[in-house]
């Protein structure tokens, strides 16, 4: 049993642990111990080591201890004594004649006091005891290692994916996303000694070759049996729900759903077996070709259709699943391997530059104390510090505890560890509750502060009842809960009317089904509305005397904070997000990124519209709908493109100032109740971006990428990136529970303290191994991960309970809680504290989280509510349990005395759903939607086109070959090449100019500089290759900037466009692509056709269309012959695209050129596959040229 701590007679020797519950005067106790050591033991201020966890806490402790010494000095000279401790210390019997001198010396020498943060203390040891610790004298502190980790992640990614089998490279990209995955994973490593499991074991991918062989067999079978396979799929024996019914849709008369479905499947299989594909991954719905699926989908009493192709498909699917299993295991090993790789790189770079980070400080001191000169170091520190007081000890970790127990663990030393294990909530920072429990076993004495000086008695009683409802409310026996007594008397004038704690429940809420969980999103909105309404009520009722500045709303996530803030704003209640966190995590950072992306890509109308929809710009983008006049939309777009031009020419700051002034952003933001906060954040972000642009010479797109990196970084890299706090004295504070620790408020709302304790089966997690002294372990997917996950979930539940305790103990006078069947809340802290009926096994392998969830699920709403009412009865009026108020949508609007009956007007008109703005991309993808510029899509006939080489057959890694054929594939590469060619002056033959531009663009788009020779060579071939055999001088290098238009946007009206009309337009004999439109399906449309032509240029009086294609067709020039180019044009249906372009250009020229004649003035269409163009093989290689048939254009023009 813990002893009650009495400050005046506590021992001043040995190892002592003080459990200081919330509001019990932890800092007051620490001050008293310091003063006793000075006055009674005669220690000087530099002999008493005081360690706390933040610089702010250091300054607060210094101020309070100094003030206490001043009170002692005043009391000794006859001044008035108001502090009970000072009165008791000076009233003790005995000789006090030396007190005045000791107090005076302590104040005179107070600047030499040894009050540090833990890292400040370790840094001082390393500096002053350099020989004993083996530290360099001129070492510098690395405050943020993130840039080194990111570089290591990029190197690791290149080493492991470049030159790897294409299937592996693609799968790694899809599953992990890129090198940032490894950097983010490393950022979760919160302890330098954490063990990573499993050990990396790179096994060969044995199923890859069988899979490739099976795919080859499938390709051959499909080419021979396509028609017969499709006939089998049209069998009436197959379920119509899965394979399509034998009836037509109204919008597609004459074509049955089965025909449409089989046509889509055929199109998918055509693309999957095309020459540019490698068969990985399988496309969506591939299983519809397999034996197992066909048998399962066969109607009862019918015989399933059979075909060899179905068994071949089944074999491929089985091998595919085997391959995925091996690839997942391989990627898991890569994660394990990266920790060792990154650790080695980080260590090497720190050693080269003589740097150390904060973890290094702790580890070096710990290792020195355990090393050869450890005894000498302990002796030196023992002579320097006679006593140590450790503040916030619950937030320590194993390394810190080793340091202090080594130095101050002897009987002749004095060590006081002061903290509250019930408030240990910083596990995500590396704090280790098990170090506290270890100290419990090793301490000579364990004391408790048992009087709460913060809260009213009613609140103390309610908290006592809630946490006494379970035998071990904090799950671990070494963290007991002892009921706390009020430390102060209160008057009736001080107390808020009503019970001290109100628990709103949702078990009788009419908006939910009985016994059913409420979706979190819905519950969050309902709760936030109720909270805002209650705050409005208590701040307007005269009897309460509560101001908005007296209230705090505690949340778990930033999203919850924004929801609460929105409802408070609607209620006209001033509020502030009280957070000194990362500026890049604010909503303003999200919106500014959207604006900057739009300005960085002014040709992308979607991005511009997204920017206009931000609250920073007034949300006016959302007003641009189908009825918006074209001139109004064009005016806004033109203005945004003007800002983009200013940014490009004058830099970020010039653009930002112009944007702020012309868009009235300051005035717009100040309309919000939290306008000052929003404006502060925005201007803060602008300062940071201005500095980054200047230091790193970033282009617009590079600056946006820089902002993305900061937003995704797990580290706060600079104090300049911390939020600047706004004035909040008169506003409701919306603050996370983590940030609220150590703070207090008269009235507190805890509406979201019901987060679950499940850990996803797909997530990596950390836990403490009970078999190895609770050492920290990071499990990335070991064989025993399920058993380890049970331990980790118990630890997470324990931390959630501690968070709940922190939330409930912030209030001084009134506290509100919310509880109900929210989704996933069955494993939360209140679920355990209020409803758990089972026994709590102290063995770590108990699946307590599942036990709690099972118990909650078994109980009816009435039983759950009865559990709450039982607690309320035990509290004797301190806790009330009532239904959460139901708030109407417009509850903030004033009600008029008279009501008007209203009814919905019935819409009897007809909406033409075929009117739309469509494009080539919309037609070929089967989705009628507005699109941005047509790019080299990574969508392959509706399915993903693998972005890797089909000729790679090795399973090992090879050194990357930086050829144009190996340049990364996909949409990102296409956008890069488009931007490069758009900005390049073809007529400038200076190689240095071209190479510099290539280098700049590679950097801007995030590609390695090693690609520069390959891309520069491609540019030289592209610009100098003859395009037409009859005219050797017809080269792009002959074009000046005045003869070309880049990214030519167009709209033209269409009356009616259907698949049948399109087929008829290409039905003429010499319209070579017509035969390939049989399976071309899209919904009928009329309205406007829209698109972007990569380039239009004039040559000898004729006008030509150019489309840049970065498609990968193979790794040799032979893969880009005219025959292969023609197959790619057919496969991707590019002929539809360029005929649309030709119609647009033909219409434009006819309207602008006097005497325009198609035969005379329309040159033709070039599709330039830039990877395969070579001056030695020109013309022909990599070049597609066609002059559209006038009759076909006439038919399309008439649409």
CATH of the domain at 1112: 3.90.320.10
How much is the average pLDDT of 104-118? 95
Cis amide bond preceding 750, omega within 30: no
Q: What is the structure's pLDDT at 904?
A: 65
From CA 35, how far away is CA 65, in angstroms rounded?
A: 8
> What order of strands is seen across the sheet that includes strand 775-779?
195-197, 775-779, 765-769
Regarding whether 238 and 289 lie in a shared domain, the answer is yes
Regarding whether 373 and 309 lie in a shared domain, the answer is no
Asked if residues 1167 and 1113 have their Cβ atoms less than 8 Å apart, the reply is: no
Q: Name which of 416-420, 693-697, 945-949, 1053-1057 the model is least confident about.
A: 945-949
pLDDT digits (tens, 9 = 90+) for 636-672: 778 888 898 899 888 899 999 999 998 899 988 888 7
Domain boundary among 721, 755, 773: 721
- Paired strand residues for 1162: 1103
Asked if residues 492 and 806 have their Cβ atoms less than 8 Å apart, the reply is: no
Regarding whether 600 and 707 lie in a shared domain, the answer is yes
From CA 842, how far away is CA 472, in angstroms rounded?
A: 10
Regarding whether 688 and 562 lie in a shared domain, the answer is no
pLDDT digits (tens, 9 = 90+) for 759-812: 998 889 999 999 999 999 999 999 999 999 999 999 999 999 999 999 999 999
From CA 347, how far away is CA 352, in angstroms rounded?
A: 9
From CA 39, how far away is CA 50, in angstroms rounded?
A: 17
- 234: pLDDT strictly greater than 90: yes
Q: What is the structure's pLDDT at 842?
A: 61
Q: What is the structure's pLDDT at 928?
A: 40
Domain boundary among 323, 350, 375: 323
Regarding whether 587 and 571 lie in a shared domain, the answer is no
**What pairing do the DSSP bridges indicate for beta strands 414-419 and 387-390?**
parallel
Report phi then psi at 503, rounded to 5. Answer: -110, 110
Query: Mean pLDDT for the chain?
Result: 86
From CA 746, how far away is CA 813, in angstroms rounded?
A: 5
Q: What is the structure's pLDDT at 1115?
A: 83
Regarding whether 631 and 519 lie in a shared domain, the answer is no
Query: Does residue 69 lie in a domain region?
Result: yes
How much is the average pLDDT of 290-302? 94
Residue 740: its H or E element: helix 737-740
- 931: pLDDT strictly greater than 60: no
Q: Name which of 119-123, 358-362, 858-862, 1040-1044 the model is least confident about.
A: 1040-1044
Asked if residues 742 and 61 have their Cβ atoms less than 8 Å apart, the reply is: no
How is residue 529 written in tokens? 């509305």
Domain boundary among 449, 473, 503: 449
Query: Does residue 457 lie in a domain region?
Result: no
Regarding whether 974 and 857 lie in a shared domain, the answer is no
pLDDT digits (tens, 9 = 90+) for 1169-1199: 999 998 887 677 899 999 998 888 888 887 7
From CA 851, how far away is CA 848, in angstroms rounded?
A: 5
Q: What is the structure's pLDDT at 882?
A: 95
Instruction: Find the length of the chain.
Output: 1199
- 947: pLDDT strictly greater than 70: no
Which residues in 207-238 are b (16+ Cβ under 10 Å) and which e?
bbeebbebbeebbebbeebeeebeebbbbebb
How much is the average pLDDT of 81-103? 90
**Residue 367 CB partners (closer than 8 Å, separation 6+):** none
From CA 1053, how far away is CA 1085, in angstroms rounded?
A: 11
Q: Which domain does 556 fall in, by range? A: 492-578+746-883
CATH, residue 609: 1.10.486.10
From CA 326, how far away is CA 336, in angstroms rounded?
A: 16
Regarding whether 1075 and 931 lie in a shared domain, the answer is yes
Say what angle helices 700-712 and 587-600 make with each other, to 10 degrees.
150
Q: What is the structure's pLDDT at 1086?
A: 83
DSSP string, 654-685: HHHHHHHHHTTHHHHHTTSTTHHHHHHHHHHH
Task: Band the pLDDT of 564: cuts 50, 70, 90.
Answer: very high
Query: Residue 1132's Cα: distance from chain center in Å?
Result: 35
Cis amide bond preceding 198, omega within 30: yes
- 501: pLDDT strictly greater than 90: yes
Task: Band the pLDDT of 519: cuts 50, 70, 90.
Answer: very high
Regarding whether 1157 and 1023 lie in a shared domain, the answer is yes
CATH, residue 845: 3.40.50.300
Model-level pTM? 0.72
Count how many domains the chain has.
Answer: 5
Q: What is the structure's pLDDT at 938?
A: 36
Q: What is the structure's pLDDT at 579?
A: 59
Query: Does residue 147 lie in a domain region?
Result: no
> Within 13 Å, how many C-alpha atoms sit on residue 648's CB side?
12
Regarding whether 772 and 693 lie in a shared domain, the answer is no
- 717: pLDDT strictly greater than 60: no
Regarding whether 73 and 92 lie in a shared domain, the answer is yes
Regarding whether 573 and 594 lie in a shared domain, the answer is no
pLDDT digits (tens, 9 = 90+) for 214-232: 999 999 999 999 999 999 9
How much is the average pLDDT of 150-163? 90
């Amino acid at each position: 049993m813990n002893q009650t701590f009495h400050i005046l007679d506590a021992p001043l020797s040995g190892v002592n642990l003080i459990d200081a519950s919330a509001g019990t005067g932890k800092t007051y106790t620490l001050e008293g111990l310091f003063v006793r050591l000075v006055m009674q033991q005669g220690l000087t201020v530099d002999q008493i080591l005081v360690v706390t966890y933040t610089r702010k806490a250091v300054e607060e402790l210094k101020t309070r201890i100094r003030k206490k010494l001043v009170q002692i000095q005043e009391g000794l000279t006859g001044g008035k004594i108001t502090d009970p401790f000072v009165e008791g210390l000076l009233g003790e019997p005995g000789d006090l004649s030396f007190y005045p001198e000791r107090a005076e010396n302590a104040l005179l020498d107070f600047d030499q006091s040894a009050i540090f943060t833990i890292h400040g203390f370790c840094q001082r040891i390393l500096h002053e005891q350099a020989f004993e610790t083996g530290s360099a004298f001129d070492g510098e502190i690395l405050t943020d290692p993130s840039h080194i980790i990111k570089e290591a992640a990029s190197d690791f990614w290149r080493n492991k994916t470049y030159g790897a089998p294409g299937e592996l490279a693609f799968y790694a990209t899809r599953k992990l996303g890129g090198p940032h995955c490894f950097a983010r994973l490393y950022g979760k490593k919160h302890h330098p000694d954490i063990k990573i499991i499993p050990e990396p074991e790179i096994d060969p991918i044995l199923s890859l070759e069988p899979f490739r062989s099976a795919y080859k067999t499938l390709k051959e079978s499909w080419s021979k049996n396509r028609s017969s396979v499709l006939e089998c799929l049209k069998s009436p024996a197959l379920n119509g729900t899965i394979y399509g019914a034998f009836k037509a849709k109204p919008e597609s008369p004459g074509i049955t759903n089965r025909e449409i479905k089989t046509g889509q499947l055929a199109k998918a299989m055509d693309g999957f077996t095309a020459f540019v594909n490698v068969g990985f991954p399988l496309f969506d719905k591939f299983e519809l070709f397999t034996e197992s699926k066909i048998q399962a989908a066969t109607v009862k009493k019918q015989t399933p259709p059979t075909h060899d192709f179905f068994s071949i498909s089944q074999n491929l699917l089985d091998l595919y699943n085997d391959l995925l299993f091996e690839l997942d295991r391989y990627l898991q090993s890569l994660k394990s391997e990266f920790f060792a790789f990154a650790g080695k790189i980080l260590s090497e770079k720190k050693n080269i530059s003589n740097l150390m980070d904060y973890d290094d400080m702790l580890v070096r001191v710990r290792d020195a104390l355990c090393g050869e000169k450890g005894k000498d170091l302990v002796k030196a520190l023992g002579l320097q510090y006679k006593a140590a007081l450790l503040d916030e000890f619950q937030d320590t970790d194993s390394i810190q505890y080793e340091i202090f127990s080594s130095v101050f663990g002897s009987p002749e030393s004095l060590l006081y560890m002061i903290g509250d294990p019930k408030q240990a909530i910083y596990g995500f920072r590396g704090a280790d509750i098990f170090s506290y429990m270890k100290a419990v076993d090793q301490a000579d004495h364990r004391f408790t502060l048992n009087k709460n000086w913060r809260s009213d008695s009613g609140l103390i009683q309610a908290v006592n009842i809630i946490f006494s409802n379970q035998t071990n409310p904090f799950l671990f026996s070494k963290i007991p809960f002892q009921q706390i007594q009020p430390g102060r008397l209160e008057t009736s004038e001080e107390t808020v009317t009503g019970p001290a704690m109100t628990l709103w429940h949702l078990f009788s809420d009419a908006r939910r089904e009985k016994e059913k969980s409420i979706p979190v999103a819905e519950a969050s909105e309902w709760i936030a509305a109720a909270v805002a309404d209650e705050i409005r009520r208590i701040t307007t009722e005269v009897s309460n005397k509560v101001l908005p500045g007296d209230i705090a709303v505690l949340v778990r996530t930033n999203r919850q904070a924004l929801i609460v803030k929105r409802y408070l704003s609607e209620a006209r209640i001033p509020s502030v997000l009280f957070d000194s966190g990362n500026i890049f995590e604010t909503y303003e950072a999200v919106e500014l990124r959207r604006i900057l992306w739009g300005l960085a890509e002014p040709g992308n109308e979607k991005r511009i519209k997204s920017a206009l929809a931000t609250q920073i710009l007034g949300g006016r983008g959302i007003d641009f709908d189908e009825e918006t006049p074209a001139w109004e939309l064009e005016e806004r777009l033109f203005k945004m493109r003007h800002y983009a031009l200013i940014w490009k020419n004058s830099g970020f700051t010039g653009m930002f100032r112009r944007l702020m002034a012309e868009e009235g952003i300051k005035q717009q933001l100040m309309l919000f109740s939290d306008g000052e906060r929003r404006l502060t954040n925005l201007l803060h972000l602008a300062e940071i971006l201005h500095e980054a642009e200047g230091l790193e010479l970033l282009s617009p797109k590079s600056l946006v990428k820089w902002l993305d990196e900061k937003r995704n970084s797990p580290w706060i890299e600079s104090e300049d990136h911390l939020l600047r706090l706004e004035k909040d004295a008169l506003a409701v504070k919306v603050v996370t529970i983590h940030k609220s620790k150590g703070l207090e408020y008269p009235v507190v709302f805890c509406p979201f303290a019901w987060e679950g304790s499940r850990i996803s089966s797909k997530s990596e997690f950390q836990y403490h191994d009970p078999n190895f002294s609770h050492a920290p372990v990071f499990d990335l997917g070991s064989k025993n991960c399920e058993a380890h996950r049970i331990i980790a979930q118990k630890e997470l539940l324990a931390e959630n309970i501690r968070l709940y305790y922190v939330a409930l103990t912030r209030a001084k006078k009134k506290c509100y809680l919310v509880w109900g069947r929210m989704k996933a809340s069955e494993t939360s802290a209140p679920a355990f504290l209020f409803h758990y009926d089972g026994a709590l096994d102290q063995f770590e392998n108990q699946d307590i989280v599942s036990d709690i969830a099972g118990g909650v699920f078994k109980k009816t709403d009435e039983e759950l509510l009865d559990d709450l009412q039982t607690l309320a009865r035990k509290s004797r009026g301190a806790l009330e349990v009532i239904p959460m108020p139901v708030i109407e949508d417009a509850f903030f609007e004033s009600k008029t005395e008279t009501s008007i009956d209203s009814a919905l007007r019935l819409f009897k008109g007809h909406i033409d759903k075929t009117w739309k703005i469509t494009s080539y991309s919309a037609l070929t993808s089967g989705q009628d939607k507005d699109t941005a510029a047509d790019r080299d899509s990574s969508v392959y006939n509706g399915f993903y086109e693998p972005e890797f080489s089909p000729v790679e057959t090795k399973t090992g890694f090879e050194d990357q070959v930086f050829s144009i054929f190996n340049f990364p594939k996909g949409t990102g590469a296409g956008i890069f090449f488009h931007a490069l060619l758009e900005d390049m002056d073809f007529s400038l033959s200076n190689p240095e100019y071209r190479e510099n531009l290539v280098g700049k663009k590679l950097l801007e788009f995030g590609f390695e500089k090693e690609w520069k020779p390959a891309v520069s060579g491609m540019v030289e071939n592209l610009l100098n290759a003859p395009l037409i055999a009859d005219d050797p001088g017809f080269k792009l290098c002959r074009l000046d900037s005045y003869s070309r238009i880049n990214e030519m946007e167009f709209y033209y009206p269409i009356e009616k466009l259907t698949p049948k009309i399109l087929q008829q337009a290409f039905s003429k004999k010499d319209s070579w692509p017509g035969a390939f439109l049989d399976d071309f399906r899209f919904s009928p449309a009329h309205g406007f056709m829209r698109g972007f032509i990569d380039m239009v240029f004039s040559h000898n009086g004729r006008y030509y269309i150019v489309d840049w294609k970065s498609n990968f067709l193979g790794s040799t020039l032979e893969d880009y012959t005219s025959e292969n180019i023609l197959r790619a044009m057919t496969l991707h249906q590019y002929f539809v695209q360029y005929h649309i372009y030709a119609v647009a250009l033909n219409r434009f020229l006819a309207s602008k050129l006097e005497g325009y004649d198609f035969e005379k003035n329309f040159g033709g269409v070039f599709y330039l596959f830039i990877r395969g163009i070579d001056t030695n093989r020109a013309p022909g290689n990599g070049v597609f040229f066609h002059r559209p048939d006038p009759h076909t254009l006439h038919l399309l023009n008439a649409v």
